[in-house]
Amino acid sequence: MKGYAGKFLRVDMTTGEVRADVLSEDVARRFVGGYGFVGHTLYNEVPEGADALSPENVLCLWTGPVAGTTIPVSSKYIMGARSPATGFIGFGIASGGVGSELKAAGWDGMVIKGKAPTLKYLYIQNGNVELRDAIPYAGKTTWETEELIREELCDDEVRVSSCGPAGELMTCLANVTNDRNRQVGRSGMGAVMGSKNLKAIAVRGTGSVEVANLDELVEFSRDLYKRCRGPATEKYRLYGTPANVLVHNRLGCLPTNNFQKGTFDHAEMVSGERMLETLVKKVVACPSCPIGCDHINVVKDGPWAGTVSSVDYESLELLGPNCGVDDLNAITKAVELCDTLGIDTISAGVTISWAMEAYEKGLITSEDVDGLDLRFGNAEAMVEATRRMCLREGNLGALIADGAARAAEKVGQGSEKFAMVNKKLEWGAYSLRSLQTATLGFATSVRGACYLRSGSYQPDVKGTVDRYHLDRSRGKYVFDGENLYAIIDSLIICKFTRGIYKDNDEIAKILRLVTGFDITAEEMIKTGERIHNQAKLFNVKFGVGRGDDYPPDRAFEEKMYDDVNDGAIIIRDEYDEALSGYYEERRWNEEGIPTRELLEDLGLDTKLGV
Amino acid sequence: MDAKRIIVCDTEKCAGCEICEYICSIFKEKTINWSKSRIRHVRIEPTFDIAIACRKCEEPLCVKACPRDAVIELEDGSVRIEKDKCNGCGWCIEACNFGALKLDWDHKSVFACDFCADLDQPKCVEFCPYEALEFTTLDQVGHEAGVKAFKRIIEELG
Amino acid sequence: MPEEQAIKVEFFGPFRDFGKEAVVPANQPVSFDQLVAALVGQLGEPFEERARKSNTTLIVNNRIISPRRRDEVEINPGDKVSFALLLGGG
């Protein structure tokens, strides 16, 4: 096979055994790579009922066939496991250099089971693979871990993915960091690493990456690089995604004060424009990326002077306006804490905003929050709350470390109503009531509360639909988005390049040039449908039902009033119709379970079909 | 005397994408293998990026260091390594101030940038998406810096 | 002038090279072309090219007008128009 290394690692943390396994061409053709392989591995290998933080859970890391090639922004990898946050399929895609390095080392991925007796890290150096002692790195931040492992191995070119102290503590929201600024952010993969006593994965590869048609691939890449410097990517290059702040504010879909409102009075102070003017030192790129979207903030003054972190829209928005905070320095600090100590910024922001609302409503006391004045707008309190959450420190840390849903369960008193979660995972920075197609995509997402599987905000922000209402036809947008994005997440290429491709056939061309597989655009989309349904089957195996595909109650029960919105709300009947319409489009039943007929058509296991 | 042209990297533009490394290995080795790239990206955290290749030093230390006279300086100032003479001792790598020489793990021979002498132009320069790389002379670099500074003064004076 | 006889314009992202806001007098509905022409008069020729780029997105009051539908839009006196880039991502 071309493109693929053709083999992957099987690691048993309990026994320390590491062995090679073959990647079959059949699996490669049917599931492409990345996200497709994660669904396939987890569905087949995670035992029914296995606890997410037990040795029985399976942690896998996969690349796609394009990793290590010249296709723009192809150095990505995905980590997946049963999520400790949701109990359903968990995974996250990160860029940086790990994906391409692993391919150069001669591996497509790894499947990790068991639990080591003491803290270890996995070191892959081409064909030499071993588990090494990581006890000296216990409690170290992700940045320290990368530096120290490079020192130990005497190799600054080693790429390192690690969990922070939060992962070692098995916090449900723990993330994984590589190359400092890139994260496998959501769904708690860092906690799964910690539960296996796996502190880090270090990779160094010096082999060649074989593709089917190198000459044509290089010429195609040359053209794609030019397109990556054009209008389709301008926003990412100049401002990065923080450019969304003022625009979302203008549209009334900037979550503010725990999603109570959609506009923020101080939006200018935390805008992408302001950030570029006052904080951005440089914009850097991941390996193989001609766009360069990573805006690196350096705080110059104030209590957090010297802080360095890469700040994206969602992190900024949810730790900022969503917490009522208008201080970019404080936000930069909170992001740095999350990246180094190791929790997801999105879950952090939305959990802290929950705590702020609970505190302001008197549902939690000063003692519960360790005496912090945890009110909306208090930047110092937001930063300190972030730190405590990462380290499970104090009463506050113990309360909120595992996210808003679990904290609300503990506190009760109606606080569950404003835990902004779906499938117990915190909602992203897209307002529910004023971007309703987005909401449908977020709530039906297999991972929970996220648009990354569907891009479902697009019809709303492109003005194609009425963003304040839903109807039965809306599901088609989510369906189409999910099938295409399943391919993007399996190849794995960066979603910021989606605008450079003229049509799906150009994306299929990538696969043809790299692997030599003769695939049409239609076959590719059908493959995407298969990949999506495989991930869905994992959730079915673990008990997902229609009730898990709803947004939080605030969306239905509270009208939103702010500078733009005059009583925006989701009408439950409309949502139900739209959800049923989505299931129908998907050929699932009214509970959202795939039909046997569909599964046969896609060549998937029919055992759980209806 | 023809002024020596080297590959100069604008550190303000360089984003650390390493596409130069991919491209170099493709054109020089006919395969994707950035460990065999002649040009090397260096990042000093958090925000300094540069890509470096051979500087065509006036008195190349690599040439002096080689105990087997395997490193030859050509007329244009670049160096070539004679594979039959090289035994991979690596003295030249230690001698170079810029990390411009590398050891090929497979052939146990050292290599350095030849400025794509066999091709139309240095390929890394051609492909760099950020236009951070230039194949130029040091005189020209100095001249352009002066022009850039002066332009800024003119703008600020209105 | 009375608010109803003008169009309030707001700039985001790279459009801020031209300032944060502008006011365009209008006593009848205008098209995208007419609005751009009026703004070029105030802000100079470079605005023309920037406004007509394929990724320029308009927000009229709180309705989004994607680049493809710019030519169909009708902007009324009293409206607020924002110039921004294509949206999305996080």
Q: How confident is the model at residue A439 (pLDDT cuts 50, 70, 90)?
A: very high
Residue length of chain A: 610
Distance CA A478, CA A470 (A): 12
pLDDT of residue B108: 81
A209, A283, A290: residue with CB nearest B19: A290
Q: How confident is the model at residue C88 (pLDDT cuts 50, 70, 90)?
A: low
pLDDT of residue A43: 98
Q: How far is B36 from chain A (nearest CA, A)?
A: 8
Per-residue pLDDT of chain B (158 residues; tens, 9 = 90+): 568 999 999 999 999 999 999 999 999 999 999 999 999 999 998 899 999 999 999 999 999 999 999 999 999 999 999 999 999 999 999 999 999 999 997 878 999 999 999 998 999 999 999 999 999 999 999 999 999 999 988 888 86
Chain A residue closest to C55 (CA)? A231
Indicate yes or no: CB of A235 within 8 angstroms of CB of C13.
yes
- For the segment A556-570, what is each residue's pLDDT rounded down to a tens digit? 999 999 999 999 999
Q: Which residues from chain A sit within 8 angstroms of residue C87, using beta carbons?
A: 235, 244, 247-248, 457, 461-462
Q: How far is B48 from chain A (nearest CA, A)?
A: 9
Please answer whether residues B38 and B113 qualify as being in contact, where contact means their C-beta atoms are separated by less than 8 angstroms.
yes
Q: Does C85 touch chain A (CB under 8 A)?
A: yes
Torsion angle of alpha carbons C25, C27, C29, C35, nearest 10°?
-20
Residue length of chain C: 90
Distance CA C15, CA A509 (A): 36
Pairing of strands C74-75, A308-310: unpaired
**Chains linked to A by 3 or more Cβ pairs within 8 Å:** B, C
Chain A residue closest to C85 (CA)? A235
Buried b (16+ CB within 10 A) or exposed e, C9-38: bbbbbbbbebeeebebebeeebebeebbeb
SS3 A122: strand
User: Going from the N-terminus, what domains does chain B have, and what CATH number goes with each?
Assistant: 1-53+116-158 (3.30.70.20), 56-112 (3.30.70.20)
CB atoms within 10 A of CB A502: 8
Please answer whether residues A505 and A498 qualify as being in contact, where contact means their C-beta atoms are separated by less than 8 angstroms.
no
Pairing of strands A7-12, A109-113: parallel
Chain C residue closest to A316 (CA)? C90
pLDDT of residue A232: 87
The CATH code of domain A436-550+571-602 reads: 1.10.599.10
- For the segment A49-81, what is each residue's pLDDT rounded down to a tens digit? 999 999 999 999 999 999 999 999 999 999 999
Q: How confident is the model at residue A537 (pLDDT cuts 50, 70, 90)?
A: very high
Q: Which two tokens stand for residue A151?
A: 């020192």
Q: Does C71 touch chain A (CB under 8 A)?
A: no
pLDDT of residue C89: 55
Q: How confident is the model at residue C2 (pLDDT cuts 50, 70, 90)?
A: low
Q: Does C12 touch chain A (CB under 8 A)?
A: yes
Indicate yes or no: CB of C59 within 8 angstroms of CB of A247.
yes
Pairing of strands A77-82, A7-12: unpaired
The interaxial angle of helices A475-491 and A436-444, nearest 10 deg, is 60
Chain C residue closest to A315 (CA)? C90
Higher model confidence: residue A463 or residue A386? A386
Q: Which residues pair with A468 in a beta bridge?
A: none
For chains B and A, having 3+ Cβ pairs within 8 Å is answered: yes
Place of tokens 């906690």: A191
Burial of residue A49 (CB within 10 Å: 0-12, 13-18, 19+) is exposed
Q: Which residues from chain A sit within 8 angstroms of residue B46, using beta carbons?
A: 180, 281, 296, 298, 308
Q: Does A455 touch chain C (CB under 8 A)?
A: yes
Short-list A486, A487, A491, CA closest to A69: A491
Please answer whether residues B63 and B75 qualify as being in contact, where contact means their C-beta atoms are separated by less than 8 angstroms.
no
**Chains linked to C by 3 or more Cβ pairs within 8 Å:** A
Q: Does A251 touch chain C (CB under 8 A)?
A: yes
Q: How far is A274 from chain C (nearest CA, A)?
A: 10
Short-list A174, A181, A313, CA closest to A236: A313
Distance CA A83, CA A192 (A): 8
pLDDT of residue C68: 84
Indicate yes or no: CB of B127 within 8 angstroms of CB of A225.
yes
What is the secondary structure of C13-76 as a DSSP string? GGGGGG-SEEEEE-SS-EEHHHHHHHHHHHH-THHHHHHHSTTEEEEETTEEE-GGGGGG-EE-
**Chains linked to B by 3 or more Cβ pairs within 8 Å:** A
Query: What single DSSP character describes residue A270?
Result: G
- For the segment A190-236, what is each residue's pLDDT rounded down to a tens digit? 999 999 999 999 999 999 999 999 999 999 999 999 999 998 899 89
What average pLDDT does the structure give for chain C?
A: 90
Pairing of strands C6-11, C21-25: antiparallel
Distance CA A190, CA A209 (A): 29
Give me the architecture of the A7-204 domain, per CATH. 4-Layer Sandwich (3.60)
User: Going from the N-terminus, what domains does chain C have, and what CATH number goes with each?
Assistant: 3-85 (3.10.20.30)
Q: Does A581 touch chain C (CB under 8 A)?
A: no
Q: How far is B134 from chain A (nearest CA, A)?
A: 17
Indicate yes or no: CB of A214 within 8 angstroms of CB of B30.
yes
pLDDT of residue A461: 84
Indicate yes or no: CB of A296 within 8 angstroms of CB of B127.
no
Q: Which residues from chain B sit within 8 angstroms of residue A282, using beta carbons?
A: 47, 49
Indicate yes or no: CB of B22 within 8 angstroms of CB of A70.
yes
- For the segment A567-608, what is each residue's pLDDT rounded down to a tens digit? 999 999 999 999 999 999 999 999 999 999 999 999 999 999
Chain B residue closest to A3 (CA)? B32
What average pLDDT does the structure give for chain A?
A: 97
Beta carbons within 8 Å of A152's beta carbon, 6+ residues apart: none
Q: Which residues from chain B sit within 8 angstroms of residue A207, using beta carbons?
A: 33
CB atoms within 10 A of CB A554: 20
Statement: residue A440 has pLDDT above 90: yes
Q: How far is A31 from chain B (nearest CA, A)?
A: 24
Domain chopping of chain A, boundaries: 7-204, 236-426, 436-550+571-602
Distance CA C60, CA C76 (A): 9
Indicate yes or no: CB of B18 within 8 angstroms of CB of A288.
yes
Q: Residue type at A20?
A: A
The interaxial angle of helices A34-45 and A475-491, nearest 10 deg, is 90
B32, B49, B130: residue with CB nearest A70: B32
Q: How far is C63 from chain A (nearest CA, A)?
A: 7
Q: How confident is the model at residue C27 (pLDDT cuts 50, 70, 90)?
A: very high
Residues of B with CB under 8 A from a CB of A: 15-19, 22-23, 26, 29-35, 43, 45-47, 49, 105, 127, 129-130
Chain A residue closest to B104 (CA)? A206
- For the segment A103-160, what is each residue's pLDDT rounded down to a tens digit? 999 999 999 999 999 999 999 999 999 999 999 999 999 999 999 999 999 999 999 9
CA distance between the termini of chain B: 41
Q: How many CB pairs under 8 A join A and B?
A: 78
Give me the architecture of the A236-426 domain, per CATH. Orthogonal Bundle (1.10)
Q: Which two tokens stand for residue A418?
A: 């404003």
Element (H, E) at B8: strand B5-9
- For the segment A275-326, what is each residue's pLDDT rounded down to a tens digit? 999 999 999 999 999 999 999 999 999 999 999 999 999 999 999 999 999 9
